[in-house]
């Protein structure tokens, strides 16, 4: 079982994993005859908690937060590319920015995210009525489920809708907040702003319901603050994003240089949330290290030469890139994400404190607090490069420096795609990319930065038609 702190028999866990239903008849799995009924799940805290663990298991699915979404988010940018040799075609269409509504990379993240959301909805609706749970346990169930719902909605709105900063009134995604049954699950598209507003409501509620915990395989109050900082950043609510980011990184120690060099394959001092795997349930080849680490796995990810050359040679992060003529004589291999004892066995650190410092820096710069912004970015820069000189830039030059630092610090962790969208940046691939692109927000090709609504959703949802499809598809 993924999270070992819960002492639940495997049989009960598997029954509960199969109990909640998916949000499209095409993806429904017949309910096992020996499974618990929906109303029985919340008759005890043990079974309710098992349902929560099952929802986390969906979140960590390799087709969602466990691998596909963060990997796609980087190959959609200009710093990371997918190797075309011995790759079996994985993620080529996303790297080329040439996806269609029926493609697997469009379909599976959508359905997995909504599986998380619909399961979370049941927990939220029933958490406070679990008869043998204490008030703290009830709040813990509800708070974590609200973060799971908010996190998944945020991923969906970033991928399948225009940026909030561009058009908050544009069609967003399906806003699912009710514990519906399989016969009444159809929902139309809500506006981008409506989805973001619900995310804010869920996370604000979770902050009140939860406390800080030590097991970073679960969402807690700090994780809610961090995700809310991300949400406000998308919305360009600079003061709110800064305040949430500062609360999220408060009393959290950044990893040392030695920790960084050890790789991003297990939780460390600055981890706020990690997709927790164990050797019993790791996903082997469908994992971050399988695609990134140069040996043992697909080993398909490469760094663009212009990006690798952005790092000072004394910057510890420059050691994440290596040229090896025996593996790939032309492109930089990436050593940031290692296997842990066996192939694919590695946690996927999803939220960490360095990101929060960079959010605070960007917000301070946007607010005109340039000295504070310089201080925030310097914390991250000096940790990786003790010889770093604190920035003296102001205005747009400082903002540009912070955005570059986000690229350098967070590459491979799933941020670049959304950073391009939310800032309306141009996509300019140069150097040794296999697929060079050059377009800006005013160009027709900019629609490629927003995924289409999956064709299966349109086909199966009577509240949607082809006219509800995103522009360009």
pLDDT average, residue stretch 177-181: 83
- Considering only 7-21, 54-68, 206-220, which range has the smallest mean pLDDT? 7-21
pLDDT at 24: 38
Q: Which residue, among 273, 144, 122, 131, has the nearest Cα to 209 in the 3D structure?
A: 144
- Considering only 68-82, 102-116, 341-355, which range has the smallest mean pLDDT? 341-355
pLDDT at 280: 64
pLDDT average, residue stretch 405-432: 97
pLDDT average, residue stretch 139-156: 98
The pLDDT confidence band at residue 28, using thresholds 50, 70 and 90, is: very low
Residue 217 pLDDT exceeds 70? yes
The pLDDT confidence band at residue 263, using thresholds 50, 70 and 90, is: confident
pLDDT at 1: 24
pLDDT at 39: 72
DSSP string, 292-349: HSSSSS---EEE-HHHHTTS-TTSGGGGGEEEETTTEEEEEEE-SS--BSBTT---EE
pLDDT at 218: 96
The residue among 105 and 84 whose pLDDT is bigger is 105
DSSP string, 150-192: HHHHHHHHHHHS--TTT-TTSEEEE---S---TTS----EEEH
Average pLDDT, the chain: 90
The pLDDT confidence band at residue 3, using thresholds 50, 70 and 90, is: very low
The pLDDT confidence band at residue 184, using thresholds 50, 70 and 90, is: low
pLDDT at 278: 60
Residue % of the chain over a pLDDT of 70: 90
pLDDT at 22: 37
pLDDT average, residue stretch 39-43: 88
The pLDDT confidence band at residue 2, using thresholds 50, 70 and 90, is: very low
Q: How far is CA 383 from the centre of its chain?
A: 24
Q: Which residue, among 83, 63, 161, has the nearest Cα to 417 in the 3D structure?
A: 161
Q: How far is CA 431 from the centre of its chain?
A: 28
The residue among 37 and 30 whose pLDDT is bigger is 37
pLDDT at 14: 41
Distances (CA, A) of 8 to 12, 119, 219, 378, 451: 7, 19, 19, 45, 38
Rg for the chain (alpha carbons), in Å? 22
Round to whole Å and give the CA distance between 98 and 80.
Answer: 16
Token pair for 187: 């929902």
- Full set of structural domains in the chain with CATH: 10-266+348-468 (1.25.40.390)
Please, is 251 exposed, middle or buried when counting C-beta atoms within 10 Å of its C-beta (0-12, 13-18, 19+)? exposed
Residue 12 pLDDT exceeds 60? no
| Contact partners, residue 208, CB within 8 Å, separation at least 6 | none
Beta bridge partners of residue 171, listed in sequence order: 191
Round to whole Å and give the CA distance between 449 and 158.
Answer: 10
Round to whole Å and give the CA distance between 343 and 137.
Answer: 36
Residue 47 pLDDT exceeds 60? yes
pLDDT average, residue stretch 249-269: 92
Contact status, residue 75 vs residue 165, Cβ threshold 8 Å: no
pLDDT at 19: 46
Round to whole Å and give the CA distance between 413 and 274.
Answer: 12
Round to whole Å and give the CA distance between 75 and 425.
Answer: 16
pLDDT at 5: 33
pLDDT at 346: 85
Round to whole Å and give the CA distance between 28 and 35.
Answer: 15
Distances (CA, A) of 34 to 10, 19, 123, 380, 469: 14, 10, 21, 52, 40
pTM over 0.75: yes
User: Phi-psi category of 388—alpha, beta or left, where left has phi over 0 and alpha has psi -120 to 50?
Assistant: beta
SS3 content of the chain, % helix, strand, coil (to 5): 50, 10, 45
pLDDT at 405: 98
Tens digit of each residue's pLDDT (9 = 90 or more) over 270-322: 999 999 876 566 678 899 999 999 988 899 999 999 999 999 999 999 999 99
The pLDDT confidence band at residue 467, using thresholds 50, 70 and 90, is: very high
State in Å, rounded, how far the first CA of the chain is from the last one. 40
Pairing of strands 427-428, 189-191: unpaired
Residue 17 pLDDT exceeds 50? no
- Considering only 265-269, 271-275, 405-409, which range has the smallest mean pLDDT? 265-269
pLDDT at 282: 61
């Amino acid at each position: 079982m993924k999270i070992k702190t819960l002492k639940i028999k495997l049989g009960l866990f598997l029954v509960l994993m199969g109990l909640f239903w998916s949000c499209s008849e095409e993806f429904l799995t017949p309910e096992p005859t020996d499974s618990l009924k929906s109303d029985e799940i919340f008759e005890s805290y043990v079974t309710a908690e098992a349902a929560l663990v099952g929802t986390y298991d969906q979140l960590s699915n390799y087709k969602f937060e466990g691998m596909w979404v963060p990997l796609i988010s980087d190959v959609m940018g200009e710093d990371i590319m997918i190797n075309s040799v011995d790759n079996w075609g994985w993620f080529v269409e996303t790297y080329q920015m040439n996806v269609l509504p029926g493609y697997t990379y469009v379909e599976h993240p959508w359905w997995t995210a909504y599986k998380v959301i619909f399961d979370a909805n049941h927990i939220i609706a029933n958490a406070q009525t679990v008869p043998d749970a204490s008030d703290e346990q009830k709040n813990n169930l509800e708070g974590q489920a609200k973060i799971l719902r908010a996190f998944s909605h945020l991923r969906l709105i970033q991928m399948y809708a225009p940026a909030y900063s561009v058009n908050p009134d544009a069609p967003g995604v399906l806003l699912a907040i009710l514990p519906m049954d399989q016969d009444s699950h159809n929902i139309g598209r809500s506006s981008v702003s409506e989805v973001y507003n619900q995310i804010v409501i869920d996370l604000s509620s979770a902050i009140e319901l939860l406390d800080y915990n030590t097991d970073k395989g679960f969402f807690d109050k700090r994780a809610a603050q961090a995700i809310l900082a991300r949400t406000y950043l998308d919305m360009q609510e600079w003061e709110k994003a800064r305040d949430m980011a500062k609360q999220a990184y408060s009393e959290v120690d950044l990893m040392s240089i030695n920790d960084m060099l050890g790789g991003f394959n297990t939780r460390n001092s600055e981890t706020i949330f990690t997709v927790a795997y164990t050797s019993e349930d790791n996903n082997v080849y469908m994992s971050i290290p399988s695609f990134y680490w140069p040996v043992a796995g697909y080993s398909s990810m490469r760094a663009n030469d212009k990006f690798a050359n952005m790092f000072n040679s004394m910057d510890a992060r420059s050691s994440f890139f290596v040229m090896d003529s025996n593996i790939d004589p032309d492109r930089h291999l990436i050593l940031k994400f290692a296997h842990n004892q066996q192939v694919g066995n590695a946690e996927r650190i999803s939220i960490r404190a360095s990101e929060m410092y960079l959010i605070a820096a960007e917000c301070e710069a946007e607010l005109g607090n340039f000295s504070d912004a310089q201080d925030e970015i310097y914390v991250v820069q000096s940790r990786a490069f003790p010889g770093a000189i604190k920035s003296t830039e102001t205005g747009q030059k400082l903002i540009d420096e912070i955005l570059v630092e986000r690229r350098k610090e967070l590459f491979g962790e799933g941020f670049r795609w959304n950073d391009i969208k939310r800032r309306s940046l141009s996509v300019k691939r140069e150097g040794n990319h296999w697929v060079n692109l050059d377009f800006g927000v005013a160009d027709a090709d900019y629609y490629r930065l927003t995924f289409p609504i999956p064709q299966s959703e349109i086909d199966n949802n009577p509240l949607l038609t082809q006219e509800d499809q995103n522009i360009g598809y």
